Amino acid sequence: MTDTPIYLDSCVVIYLIEQHPAFASQIAGAMSGSDDLYAISPLVRMECLVKPLRDHDANLACRYRQAFAAFAQLSVSARDLDLAAQLRADHGLKTPDALHLAIARRSHCAALWTNDDRFAKAAPGYAVDIRTL
């Protein structure tokens, strides 16, 4: 196991928990085939819980909360917000995406797993497209 976790974008966690037919087994296979540590931030938690809360789906919300415990929990700092602002200015990322990347970088994550092509432009070689796992 490496000391540096892999940051999971919200979409990756959503695909896993909701068993996305095209991506869930691919992601789970990549995760189970390694000794890596995986991390999420409070932003990931928030984004993942929107749908079950909006739909009043207590079962799905509970499944998410249970799954969150399996991941390292990263914090959000003022430094992350400053870096996110710079990433927005430099690469045109949306605020949540800039914040995901800032948190992952500041936390010294080894990579950021996503399926969002905008990350590849802002962080080539760092953002890993889950479709290529």
Which structure tokens are listed for 126? 């760092």
Q: Determine, yes or no, domain membership for 123.
A: yes
Q: Determine, yes or no, domain membership for 46.
A: yes
Report the percent of the chain where pLDDT is more than 70: 98
Q: What pLDDT sits at residue 126? A: 95
Q: Tell which residue, 121, 122, 104, has the closest CA to residue 112.
A: 104
Q: What is the mean pLDDT of residues 113-126?
A: 91
Q: What pLDDT sits at residue 2? A: 59
- List, for residues 15-65, the tens digit of each pLDDT value: 999 999 989 999 999 999 788 999 999 999 999 999 999 999 999 999 999
**Total domain count, the chain:** 1
With 90 as the cut, is the pLDDT of residue 86 above it? Answer: yes
Instruction: State pTM to two decimals.
Output: 0.93
Q: Determine, yes or no, domain membership for 1.
A: no
Helix axes 95-106 and 42-54, enclosed angle (nearest 10) = 140
Q: Domain containing 35 — which CATH number?
A: 3.40.50.1010
β-bridge partners, 38: 6
With 60 as the cut, is the pLDDT of residue 1 above it? Answer: no
- List, for residues 92-111, the tens digit of each pLDDT value: 999 999 999 999 999 999 99
**Domain region containing 75:** 6-132
